[in-house]
Amino acid sequence: MGATEGIILSLISIVGWIVIGIRVMRTCEVSGVSNGWLAFIPFLNFTRWARLSGRNPWWTLLWIFPIAGYIFSLICLGGVSRFNGTQRPWFWVYLVTVIVSIAGAGAFSGFVYGVIAIIVTLIGLYASWMIFDPSKPIAEAK
């Protein structure tokens, strides 16, 4: 991946972090989950995902082991999407983007990887946007 693709991917990731953080915070507010502002703090944002999916936030410690952390994140997103009714197709779109991101790092290189990474990141951000829908409060999350 070249410098240009890296800068674009970094900017997309930063803007995505902020936008999805706002979306998660709003979803926490309408669902009655406390401390929604934690959505902006790395690692602690997963505690909000856990609360929204009805799981214990201490399970976030699984992120010590990255593969277990990814699996826990997917479980939480699955719970959120199931509770607010956005399970199909957005959870599955997000799942595919995670798999492509991990597999693509080893399968591609250079410009092709940069373009694929940018496209996959945008699709994953949109899927996250659709999953954390504050117009659909999550009553089970309390």
Q: Is the pLDDT of residue 57 over 70?
A: yes
pTM here is 0.77
Which residue is it, tokens 């502002």?
37
What is the distance between the alpha carbons of residues 45 and 38, in angstroms, rounded to a whole number?
Answer: 5
Higher-confidence residue of 114 and 73: namely 73
Band of residue 99 on the pLDDT scale cut at 50, 70, 90: confident
Q: How confident is the model at residue 109, as a pLDDT?
A: 66
What is the distance between the alpha carbons of residues 117 and 3, in angstroms, rounded to a whole number?
Answer: 13
* Mean pLDDT confidence for 97-126: 76
The helix (H) or strand (E) run that includes residue 75 is: helix 66-84
Query: How is the chain split into domains, by residue range?
Result: 3-141
* pLDDT, tens only, 117-133: 788 888 888 888 888 88
Q: Is the pLDDT of residue 106 over 70?
A: no
What is the distance between the alpha carbons of residues 36 and 130, in angstroms, rounded to a whole number?
Answer: 18
